[in-house]
Amino acid sequence: MPAPRTVLLTGAAGGLGTLMRELLPAYGYRLRLLDLRPIPGDPDAVVADMADEKAVRHAVQGVDAIIHLAGISQESTFARILRANIEGTHHLYEAAREAGVPRIVAASSNHAIGFTPRPHGPSPLPAASLIPTTAPHRPDTFYGLSKCFAEDLAQLYWDLHGLETVSLRIGSCFAEPTSVRMLSLWLSPADCARLLHAALTAEHVGHTVAHGSSANTRLWWDLSTARALGYAPQDDSEPYAAQLLAQEGELSDDNPAHTHVGGHYCTEPSRYED
């Protein structure tokens, strides 16, 4: 598929959005930015709430593809998650369908399958022990549940309307891994840009769910679906392992926060209030 030229980047003021604003233009994209918050230095950025259906409809006009990062990115109240992540994502899909935007690349999360047991064994794990992208939804939070919804919404819009999506179950995308758990899930910013580019340009994706991590020695999940899109990760968290292990030690099944993919999200039921 020819590379889309103009791409709407939602959540552009966030951590990941800020990193991708810097890295994606090198792939030839012209980005239209959207966020709840203004973006310093970009007066053309769309300042809008995904819950505002009309504003979202306006924002998608004339774009060739959408990278959807906007939303609440951790656990919150069901009411807030409902508005920003569930209704907001629905508004985006409706707007894209109406405007004929052919593809969305959406940030899903490891927390959509957070209650999946952490795989065990010496690193690197054999392929048969890696968590497949067909692992059933096991959300660990309302946040994770909203990502399950978004994946199913993407499937619906593909089956019913022919709107393509790549749902990327991102592990942890930060400049560096900051915990032992993150050594398994880390997605370097440069690999994230590679993955987004692959997801935007691969042929015939229908609705594809892919895991988003670097080529970590301690990887827990299978990257073959992402690789089939053309993703060739270049980074590995292992150079950070010695220091993090010296601070924290190895993950242990005696610690409930270490037994499942979602980490401490699985052990701290929501105590948020509206």
Q: Shortest Cβ distance from residue 85 to ligand NAI (Å)?
A: 8
- 153 sits near ligand NAI (criterion: CB under 6 A): no
Cβ proximity to ligand NAI: between 85 and 259 the closer is: 85
Is residue 210 close enough to count as binding ligand NAI by CB under 6 A?
no
Distance CA(239)–CA(175), nearest Å, equals 13
* Minimal distance, residue 150 CB to ligand NAI, in Å: 9
Task: Check residue 36 for interaction with ligand NAI (CB under 6 A).
Answer: yes
**Cis-peptide, bond into residue 124, ω within 30° of zero:** yes
Give dist(CA 95, CA 139) in Å, integer.
27
In the residue annotation, 143 being an active-site residue is answered as yes
Q: How many residues line the site for ligand NAI (CB under 6 A)? A: 24
For residues 211 and 15, what is the distance between their CA atoms, to the nearest angstrom? 19
Q: In sequence order, what DSSP letters do the residues of 49-63 get, joined into one string?
A: -TT-HHHHHHHTTT-
* 39 is a site residue for ligand NAI (CB under 6 A): no
Candidates 113, 171, 140; CA nearest to 266 is: 140
> Applying CB under 6 A, does 144 fall inside the site for ligand NAI?
no
Shortest separation between residue 110's beta carbon and ligand NAI, angstroms: 6
User: Does residue 172 belong to the site contacting ligand NAI (CB under 6 A)?
Assistant: yes
**Pick from 24, 25, 99, 14: nearest CA to 56:** 99
Member of 31, 35, 91, 93 binding ligand NAI (CB under 6 A): 35
Instruction: Give yes or no for residue 45 binding ligand NAI (CB under 6 A).
Output: no
The secondary structure of 69-91 as a DSSP string is --S--S---HHHHIIIIIIHHHH
Q: Does 165 bind ligand NAI (CB under 6 A)?
A: no
- Half-sphere CA count of 12, side-chain side, radius 13 A: 27
- 260 by DSSP, 3-state: which? strand
Residue whose CB is less far from ligand NAI, 53 or 64: 53
| Closest distance of CB 49 from ligand NAI, Å | 4
- Smallest distance from the beta carbon of 126 to ligand NAI, in angstroms? 26
From the candidates 93, 143, 157, 265, give the one annotated as an active-site residue.
143
Amino acid at residue number 119: P
Is 70 a residue that touches ligand NAI (CB under 6 A)? yes
CB of 122 to ligand NAI, least distance (A): 26
Based on the shown chain and the rule CB under 6 A, indicate whether residue 51 belongs to the binding site for ligand NAI: yes
Instruction: Tally Cβ neighbours within 10 Å of residue 190.
Output: 14
| By CB under 6 A, residue 72 contacts ligand NAI | yes
Dihedral of alpha carbons 90, 96, 155, 233, sign: negative
Among 42, 49, 238, 248, binds ligand NAI (CB under 6 A): 49
Q: Which amino acid is at 244?
A: L
- Under 8 Å between Cβ of 70 and 33: no
Nearest to 244 by CA among 180, 160, 163, 167: 180
* Residue 17 within binding range of ligand NAI, rule CB under 6 A: yes
Q: Where is 19: in which H helix or E strand?
A: helix 15-23
Show which residues are catalytic: 143
Q: Which residues bind ligand NAI (CB under 6 A)?
A: 11, 13-17, 35-37, 49-51, 69-73, 84, 88, 107, 109, 170, 172-173
